[in-house]
Amino acid sequence: MSTTYRAFEATGVHNLRLVEREPVDPAPGHVRLRVETCGVCHSDVLAVEGLRADPSSPIVPGHEIVGVIDAVGPGVTAWHPGDRVGVGFLNGHCGECEPCRRGDFVNCLDQGQTGTNVDGGYAEVTYARASGLVRIPDGMSAAEAAPLLCAGLTTFSALQQDSVRAGSLVAVQGIGGLGHLALQYARSLGFRVAAVARGKEKEPLARELGAHEYIDSSETDPGEALAGLGGASLVVATASSGASMTPLLRGLAPGGKLVVVGAAPDPLSVSTADLIFGTRSIVGSLTGSSIENEDNLGFSLAHGIRPAIERMPFERAMDAYERMLSGKARFRVVLDVNA
């Protein structure tokens, strides 16, 4: 291994700086990996825009990482140098806190958030707790796997609510980085799929991705439209707008759920009657565990689910981030370290 590696550090607000770092041996229970690709996710704003506890402390953004292990720390026995792995938003559960002891690894109380409070993948080298590693299946490229580790897992997990049966009407709000994957998953899971987005021009793409029905929210109330289709057992809200999510609640069937995965700056406005009559609910869904991510990649490979990506070289990390932030990317930007 070379004596240094390159990494982009975020400090302050909207600032990425390319630096040289010296690699270190991985800590006990951790591995070191050579990064091949890293997806650029909207959640990277937490690091780059200083939306964290100490923005003056340098952090390497990026949490959709695919790479190859080149060293393992003491106590790591299930992973070896040369293994092809991924790391998502959750950097590895501790296995000892109360949520972990109850099997709730997503809500581990001692788990780093990759690229937010522990260094991520805008770098040639990164580190992760072994419990957070995801095996990348043969036949899946590093560039396609990267967005599936966060955007893919987030929507795949949100769609797997225990009350939703195959054949049920499921709606996906938004056809962006999350939504374009959610439509593919929903169709492959056997649901009757409705896409909700603004503008008629998005309908052909929505149907190509798996939608049976299309609702133009700029022309009609999406809640009324969903109710007219019989009501949705599940609505996955991916758009970063609380105001756009609010009317969706009225489109739920009795017992239906609105699952929020798009982080919005504005709140939802909820009528208590819309919840009480029909016993509807609103829930949040945060990604999934590392083994659930392996299930996600396996399902994606088996069903031909692929993200639409734009590759950019590692050296253009700030351009890639700005491209994502502009909303013009179709649909996920991926940094290619080896380009």
Residue 301 lies in a domain: no
Residues 104 and 26 in one domain: yes
**136/146 Cα distance (integer angstroms):** 10
Residue 248: which CATH number?
A: 3.40.50.720
Residues 129 and 195 in one domain: no
Give residue 190's domain range: 154-284
Residue 146 lies in a domain: no
- The pLDDT tens digits for 209-263 are 999 999 999 999 999 999 999 999 999 999 989 999 999 999 999 999 999 999 8
Which H/E stretch holds residue 323?
A: helix 317-326
pLDDT, residue 83, reads 98
Residues 329 and 280 in one domain: no
Residues 21 and 121 in one domain: yes
Indicate whether 161 pLDDT > 90: no
Residue 145 lies in a domain: no
Q: Which residues pair with 38 in a beta bridge?
A: 65, 335
Residues 213 and 319 in one domain: no
Contact of 184 with 97, CB cutoff 8 Å:
no
Residues 37 and 118 in one domain: yes
Split into its structural domains, the chain has a count of 2
Residue 265 lies in a domain: yes
- The pLDDT tens digits for 174-215 are 999 999 999 999 999 999 999 999 999 999 999 999 999 999
Residues 33 and 121 in one domain: yes
Burial category of 270 from C-beta neighbours within 10 Å (exposed 0-12, middle 13-18, buried 19 and up):
middle
- The pLDDT tens digits for 134-157 are 999 999 999 999 999 999 999 999
Residues 312 and 271 in one domain: no
Contact of 59 with 22, CB cutoff 8 Å:
no
Residue 289 lies in a domain: no
Which H/E stretch holds residue 282?
A: strand 281-284
pLDDT, residue 229, reads 98
Averaged pLDDT of the chain: 96
Residue 249 lies in a domain: yes
Residue 260 lies in a domain: yes
Residue 141 lies in a domain: no
Region 49-72 average pLDDT: 97
Of 90, 304, 264, the C-alpha closest to 173 is: 264
Residues 264 and 232 in one domain: yes
DSSP calls for 90-123: B----S-SHHHHTT--TT-SS--BBTTTB--SSB
pLDDT, residue 1, reads 59
Last residue of a domain, one of 269, 284, 299: 284
Of 163, 142, 176, the C-alpha closest to 37 is: 142
Residues 127 and 216 in one domain: no
Indicate whether 163 pLDDT > 90: no
Residues 129 and 10 in one domain: yes
Contact of 306 with 300, CB cutoff 8 Å:
yes
Indicate whether 282 pLDDT > 90: yes
Residue 123: which CATH number?
A: 3.90.180.10
Residues 169 and 99 in one domain: no
